[in-house]
Amino acid sequence: MDDDPSVLKSLTRTLRVHAFQTKAYGSARDFLASLADDKPACLIVDVQMPGMSGLELIQHLTSVGIHIPTIVITAHSDIRLRERPEPGNVIAVLSKPLRNAALFSAINAAIGDA
């Protein structure tokens, strides 16, 4: 989930090329609306999102008892994000531009915990 359409498209394409099934959302609201149909094995969420931020989405999911292994991505190099205690569902915090090896390692860790 990313609010930048070019990042969303690139990330989706990269994951599909590597045989990951994906669904892309441009906002937390769109993602939450989809949960009635299907709960993903892994969630990749950007920190900066319109309306509800990625961290607010994680807190919301935790507060309503929805546990999805989550990878947080960010264009900001704010080290405090990495030091802040996050809910147990956060598997990794990755900086943009994403390195495929780190992303795939985090996804495999998330899916292994699913």
In this structure, are residues 55 and 72 in contact, taking their beta carbons and an 8 Å threshold? yes
Query: What is the Cα–Cα distance from 48 to 30, expressed in whole angstroms?
Result: 15
CATH topology (fold) of 5-113:
Rossmann fold (3.40.50)
Query: What is the Cα–Cα distance from 17 to 3, expressed in whole angstroms?
Result: 21
In this structure, are residues 48 and 73 in contact, taking their beta carbons and an 8 Å threshold? no
Tens-digit pLDDT profile for residues 44-83: 998 888 889 888 999 999 999 999 999 999 887 654 555 5
* For residue 97, cis peptide bond before it (omega within 30 degrees of 0): yes
Tens-digit pLDDT profile for residues 90-105: 989 898 888 999 999 9
Q: Report pTM.
A: 0.85
Does residue 109 register a pLDDT over 80? yes
pLDDT of residue 84: 54
Query: What is the Cα–Cα distance from 28 to 3, expressed in whole angstroms?
Result: 9
- Confidence class for position 33, pLDDT limits 50, 70, 90: very high
What is the chain's mean pLDDT, rounded? 84
Query: What is the Cα–Cα distance from 71 to 44, expressed in whole angstroms?
Result: 5
